[in-house]
Structure 1
Amino acid sequence: MSKSGREEDVGSSSSQSMVEKTLEVAKASVFGERKEKEMKKETRLGISAKKDEDFPSWYSQVCRFGELITLSDTKGLYILEPSATKIWNTLRSYMDAELEKLGGVEEKKFPMLIKRDSLEKEKDHIEGFKPEVAWVTRAGEHDLPTPYALRPTSETIIYPYFKNRIRTHRDLPMKVNQWVNVVRWEVSDPIPLIRGREFDWQEGHSAFATKEEADEEVLEVLNIYSRVYEDLLAVPVIKGRKSDKEKFAGADYTTSAEAFIPTTGRGVQAATSHCLGQNFAKMFEIAFEDKEVKRDKKGKIIKPLVWQNSWGVSTRSIGVMAMTHGDDKGLVLPPKVARYQVVVVPVPFKGADTKRISQECQAVKTTLQGAGVRAIVDERDNYACGWKYADWEMKGVPLRIELGPRDLEKNQVRVVRRDTRVKMDVLRVDLVEKVKDLLEVIQRDLYDDAKRKLEESIQKVETWDEFKEALRQKKLVLAPWCDEVEVENDVKENSKGENEAGAKTLCTPFEQPELREDTLCFASGKPAKKWTYWGRSY
């Protein structure tokens, strides 16, 4: 026995070597999709890939071994495990409360199947989704008279409902929200939680009498999404407006919250809030009788069209969180969304009173749960302590509490932070207060660290050569732009690398740096109109 009397001190070197043994992982596509027979070879504990060296394999392993997802039998379809569903349900509860404050939002649930003629009613809209639409064409042994799309989004099934429900100005504003799954049959390699063929999302739709009301809501909802990422997931985002090329199909304009993954130098569209203008109102004839009735020359009442928005966030948020905070040991979960905020691990050794240790661990859990802390005791008796430590580190639990004979003697516990691995001994009488304080500190530190990395990744450029060098260094590039689609297309084409997609506009930030009158577009040499973020993206 070591001087400290703790089993993990005796076995730390052996458990460490065990954790770092290479997993027998077959090489697969970009983000590590594995066939079932290949997955059966993965029998040892630990993340074999390094985040900085092989990010695709690292991320795939973190999602699977950290128990966020399990791969299904169909490529691109994933099973959400309890840790992921806890995160999603936490986001849902937060969003529901925020939408309640927004006022007038009613939760509904619309059908998944959409008639083809409905989906194709708005030409630009269907063109934006056409490559990803999955169709149902048969029922039993019979062909259907008309194909039905599995919803890629719900504008074209919700807006006939709006048309039937909206009659006068008294019916406005109308705001509906639903929590559903959607299907977008990605043709490229799926990425767990980031780009899959079926995923859960929150989808809101609204109709207003005036453009001003619609414009105001667009930003109100975007701010809610920003808080979801920053306050809950500890992920900093940049708010801005999408270019016309990158906006939602059929929208007047799109605003977005953009995240950035410094390790890969890629942006991620984290959430979007769209102003649809009156485009869908024209297609679906959504009009209302105004308070001040106006008539045409024949005396017929003139009904103005409504102004519409749509807005959504998805389980992609969980993937962004994992990419942002995870390390070579596995997941690092922000306390606010972690299924378990604390894991209590008994630390017995030969001759110790294991029954008492177990009872005290349960007492610690009960005390913490009584104070509102989500806690669990790991009483698996077929694994050594070192193995358990590595397992819970891989799952990202924010705090680990160890309790052994020495701790019983001193009426204390050992507390270990997942994010920094800092250890400290805490008296039992101070435990609740200390744990609560630490959870708040961890939440704040994760955000501050991610914010610092984001800011260090931003590179401001003014020339094409500077732009190319910044991309090579995996930077988030802020550049002056002339706001022309042709130039945007040229940049994407001319910035392609070997096995690398070209860079595109991510968003034009609402917080604009000063733009001198003589500032030229970095790509065309024409007068610049704005500063825009560019980068490769998921």
Structure 2
Amino acid sequence: MKMSDMGITVKKTEDFSEWYTQVVLKSGLADYAPVKGCMIFREHSYAIWEKIQEVFNEKIKATGHRNVYFPMFIPESFLKKEAAHFQGFVPEVAWVTIGGDRPLDEKLAIRPTSETIMYATYAKWIRSWRDLPIKLNQWCNIVRWETEATKLFLRTREFLWQEGHTAHATKEEADQEVMEILNAYKDVIESYLAIPVLTGMKTENEKFAGALYTTTLEALMPDGKALQMGTSHQLGQNFSKVFGIKFLDQNEKERFVWQTSWGFSTRIIGALVMVHGDDKGLVLPPKVTPIQAVIIPISYKDVDENLVLAKAKDVYEKLQKRGISVVFDDRTEYTPGWKFNEWELKGVPIRIEIGPRDVKQEQVTLVRRDTFEKIAIKEEKTVSAVAELLEEIQNNLFNRAKKFLEDHITSVKNYTEFKKALKKGFIRACWCSNPTCEEKIKEETGAAIRLIPFEKEEPFSNCVYCQKEAKEVVYFGRAY
């Protein structure tokens, strides 16, 4: 393949949608599947997902959660038990109606989410306060038959996610669970993916169908659109009453459990691409990239190639011993320049160049993917320098994205200002708390209330739409 075919041919700032698609395909993250609206997770993206799984598993296992797996087929009668929940999902459910060559007695939904099948089982497992809490999580695939235009990672008919489902004796315990998980998500997204988020509550219109309330994490993409990075729901006793999930408390009194559900999906990999990528391809944060550094030996004619290769291999082994994920690219069929472009496209944080001059001067050359800065380092300091640089890159990516987020929150006082700010990012505005205003704004502009901040802010104007007295400050945005 020619480098011209392999490289990104559009600028991120000029054609964001095409840029995104090219980066995802050409970097080897994903490919289109034979089934319309589905995608193939290639090894590069799946390794990122595995890293995210590893980090999140460590967090939830430390707080007593355990992983399980429930069937992907859900009887229609289960979904129908919770009317609001069913109505929220029915337009995008894929159904199985035939088994082999025989019609099924009851339609089976292909898992759009697992509340109903899990809670029917919880009703069998829970009898006493001693059985609580139940704190289960599953990593699985989800099918939602999208009719809108699909986009790799961001909107596909099948995607991967984790979904947690817990049951508690009291509302207070369930409330605490909701916030603990939201904070765990925030740490994974900000500390590992280097993507800053706003957190808060969804409105009644935007909350999860069947929930008491929904908390959310919202990130801002470079095109000014929001991306929901994860949600954590307080389900109250809605599902426990429908599915009969009851327990005897310590006073032998029968009570319904309080429940939560929470999840994030592989769309966060799409966010990773959009937030950090540039005109050369991916830029991956060191904490989630499958490859943290690549060593590229450079040799010329009339130079002892073995000296360069020996030095490169020595550096490779030392970095491996330190626990740094490193590749030694000693392929001879490609030029160093071709390799530079390939690894830049794949987003590897650090390139280590070792040529004859480096061997002679007992040094290596480090190149940062985030800034393209070249740094000559004494050979004996290579390992510590690479480790420090990885941390610097991680911090720089987060700080850069945080500055972008902060610079793209616009406060407005009226609807004229609101419409002018639509493409700039999040819109901070005052709202009267009337769902009609919320619905009208969404209908007329495509912007929804992304969240109500946890820390209540004093209204600074009347309602942005109706100009009546405002009750709260909220954040609007168009979204993926």
TM-score by length of 1: 0.87
> What is the match of residue 433 of structure 2?
483
> What is the match of residue 246 of structure 1?
206
> What is the match of residue 30 of structure 2?
69
Select the residue among 445, 452, 461 that pairs with 2:412: 461
1:83 shift after superposition: 1.9
> Any idea what the Cα deviations from partners look like across 1:73-109, whole Å, max 9, x if unmatched?
1222122122212211111111111112323x12111
> What is the match of residue 407 of structure 1?
358
Select the residue among 29, 36, 54 that pairs with 1:93: 54
1:479 shift after superposition: 0.5
The amino acid across from 1:376 in the alignment is V
Q: Distance in 2 between matches of 1:158 and 1:468?
A: 43
1:474 shift after superposition: 2.1
Q: Distance in 2 between matches of 1:325 and 1:115?
A: 42
Q: Does 1:205 align with 2:165?
A: yes
Alignment of 1:20-59 (within 5 A): 21=4, 44-59=5-20
> What is the match of residue 449 of structure 1?
400
Q: Distance in 2 between matches of 1:341 and 1:161?
A: 43
Q: Distance in 2 between matches of 1:100 and 1:414?
A: 41
1:512 shift after superposition: 3.3
Unaligned ranges ≥5, structure 2: none
Alignment of 1:111-130 (within 5 A): 111-130=71-90
Q: Distance in 1 between matches of 2:301 and 2:145?
A: 56
> What is the match of residue 32 of structure 1?
none
| 3-state SS, counterpart of residue 508 of structure 1 | strand
1:231 shift after superposition: 0.4
Alignment of 1:261-280 (within 5 A): 261=221, 263-280=222-239
1:68 shift after superposition: 1.2
> Any idea what the Cα deviations from partners look like across 1:467-516, whole Å, max 9, x if unmatched?
11111x42210100111211111001222xxxxxx111111111333335
Native 8 Å contact 2:447 2:479 kept in 1:
yes
> What is the match of residue 138 of structure 2?
178
Q: Distance in 2 between matches of 1:205 and 1:265?
A: 33
Native 8 Å contact 2:165 2:262 kept in 1:
yes
Matched pairs, number: 479
| 3-state SS, counterpart of residue 137 of structure 1 | strand
Alignment of 1:228-243 (within 5 A): 228-243=188-203
1:351 shift after superposition: 2.0
The amino acid across from 2:190 in the alignment is E
> What is the match of residue 291 of structure 2?
340
Q: Does 1:156 align with 2:116?
A: yes
Q: Does 1:493 align with 2:452?
A: no
Q: Distance in 2 between matches of 1:106 and 1:470?
A: 44
Stretches of 4+ moved more than 6 A in 1? Answer: none
> Any idea what the Cα deviations from partners look like across 1:339-371, whole Å, max 9, x if unmatched?
110000111112222233223222211110101
> Any idea what the Cα deviations from partners look like across 1:177-196, whole Å, max 9, x if unmatched?
11111111111111111111
Native 8 Å contact 2:430 2:472 kept in 1:
yes
The amino acid across from 1:141 in the alignment is D
> What is the match of residue 530 of structure 1?
472
The amino acid across from 1:411 in the alignment is E
Alignment of 1:378-389 (within 5 A): 378-389=329-340
TM-score by length of 2: 0.98
| 3-state SS, counterpart of residue 407 of structure 2 | helix
Select the residue among 413, 424, 431 that pairs with 1:474: 424
Q: Does 1:515 align with 2:465?
A: no
What is the root-mean-square deviation of aligned Cα atoms in Å? Answer: 1.2
Return 171-180 or 326-335, whichever deviates more. 171-180
> What is the match of residue 29 of structure 1?
none
Native 8 Å contact 2:458 2:472 kept in 1:
no
Q: Distance in 2 between matches of 1:475 and 1:118?
A: 40
Q: Distance in 2 between matches of 1:333 and 1:207?
A: 37
Q: Distance in 2 between matches of 1:486 and 1:359?
A: 70
The amino acid across from 1:292 in the alignment is N
- Percentage of matched positions with identical amino acids: 46
Q: Distance in 2 between matches of 1:147 and 1:100?
A: 35
Select the residue among 272, 277, 283 that pairs with 1:321: 272
> What is the match of residue 290 of structure 1?
249
Q: Does 1:83 align with 2:27?
A: no
